[in-house]
Amino acid sequence: MLKTTVNGLELAYERRGRGTPLVLIHGYPLDHTIWNPVVPLLEPDFDLILPDLRGFGQSGAVRTRTLLTDMAADLAALLDFLKIKKAVIAGHSMGGYIALAFARCYPSRLCGLGLLASQANADPPEKKVVRYQMADRVEASGVGEVAESMPALLTANTDLQAALKQLILRQPREGVAGALRAMADRSDSTDILSTFDFPVAIIHGLTDKIVPIERARDVRAAVKKGSLVEIEGVGHMPMMEAPQVSAEALKTLL
């Protein structure tokens, strides 16, 4: 992977293809490799930038409190380093929360937004408590518990579950715990949806067990220029479970 230093930490990223810059932000507790199935479909049209977020994959972790806006700032700094002023930003789940934080902090830098298996809502109070408790357990005992419990929530495809379990086991505990707390602390983004002047592509599996389809429909209803692709038989990992459909939807942002 390529590496650069942003905001005092080493950020790893892949760069593939040519065309309109498209940043693909992975979700929790994963890394940029979740995009592998769509990369060959998108690289003829896009200059793909595939970061590992701070605390994940080959990027450095921080021990201090992280907010999703800090992760958005890492991506803005990466774009500065690459001399890219405007990009399409697409995020998977937590990556979508970060894309929305990016849209709030750097609205002039977006020319399109993709949300896969994501939502604009913040966590209800009871979910914040569960995230904080899990973060403490991950910090104390490692990512094993997350790796056992999460794959079945991500997808019904058992081969994919096994691969995702291995991917989760490779993630550092500080990054996973930090992201759990950052998600719990995130602000609600519904207030900014109606201000977007760029196109928004929403991609969502109808059997998503983590973010229900209703949250995607809420985003679609709130944005001016939105399209929603609802994918039958797909769970929380549309870019892996339905790469062709996901890539076609992202191409509408060209």
Give residues with Cβ within 8 angstroms of 159, minimum separation 6. none
Site for ligand MLT in 86-105 (CB under 6 A): 93-94
Encoded one letter per residue, x for contact with ligand MLT by CB under 6 A and - for no contact, window 158-197 reads -------------------------x--------------
Minimum CB separation of residue 253 from ligand MLT in Å reads: 20
Task: Using the minimum distance from each CB to ligand MLT, give the nearer residue, 42 or 164.
Answer: 164
Beta carbon nearer to ligand MLT, 183 or 223: 183
Q: Are 52 and 59 in contact (CB under 8 A)?
A: yes
Select 151 or 199, whichever has its Cβ closest to ligand MLT. Answer: 151
- Spacing of C-alpha 21 from chain mean position: 16
Q: Give min distance, CB of 254 to ligand MLT, in A.
A: 25
Q: Does residue 238 interact with ligand MLT by CB under 6 A?
A: no
Task: Give the span between the Cα atoms of 70 and 68, in whole angstroms.
Answer: 5
Nearest CB to ligand MLT, comparing residues 209 and 224: 209
Q: What is the CA radius of gyration of the chain?
A: 16
Site string for ligand MLT, 49-88 (x = CB under 6 A): ----------------------------------------
CB 62 within 8 A of CB 9: yes
Structure tokens at 128: 């914040």
Report the b/e string of 17-33 with b at 16+ CB within 10 A: beebbbbbbbbbbbbbb
Q: Does 237 bind ligand MLT (CB under 6 A)?
A: no
151 near ligand MLT, judged by CB under 6 A: no
Outline where 88-237 has alpha helix (H). Answer: 94-105, 125-141, 144-149, 151-154, 158-169, 173-184, 213-222
* Region 118-137 residues binding ligand MLT, contact defined as CB under 6 A: none
Can you tell me the distance from the alpha carbon of 14 to that of 33, in angstroms, rounded to the nearest whole number?
10
For ligand MLT, which is the closer residue by CB, 210 or 228? 210
Name the site residues for ligand MLT (rule: CB under 6 A): 27-28, 93-94, 183, 210
